[in-house]
Structure 1
């Protein structure tokens, strides 16, 4: 299972990445104390690829 952490600004990009590359819908959970995989700001979401 691969994880992407995303802030509010990058959640759409994270979802598109999973859908386009893995051809499946991601599981999205809210998180705290993680950094965004795209910009290193505080992440709000964890995008899981099953």
Structure 2
């Protein structure tokens, strides 16, 4: 699973498709989840979780 900000959501979707060859699941994080989670690409506050 990849936590990402709005700027990197497309990159995270592409990574899941490339690595797992499956359709990714995109979920918007709840407010309480956002506070403790950073984007894996730029360290901004994560807004989404992308998983397979």
Normalized per residue, the structure richer in strand is 1
- In terms of fraction of residues, the more helix-rich structure is 2
TM-score range, shorter chain: 0.7 to 0.9
TM-score, scaled relative to structure 2:
0.81
- Displacement over 2 Å in runs of 4+: none
Quote how far apart the aligned CAs of 1:24 are: 0.5
Aligned length: 47
Structure 2: gaps (5+ residues): none
Instruction: Provide TM-score, normalisation by structure 1.
Output: 0.84
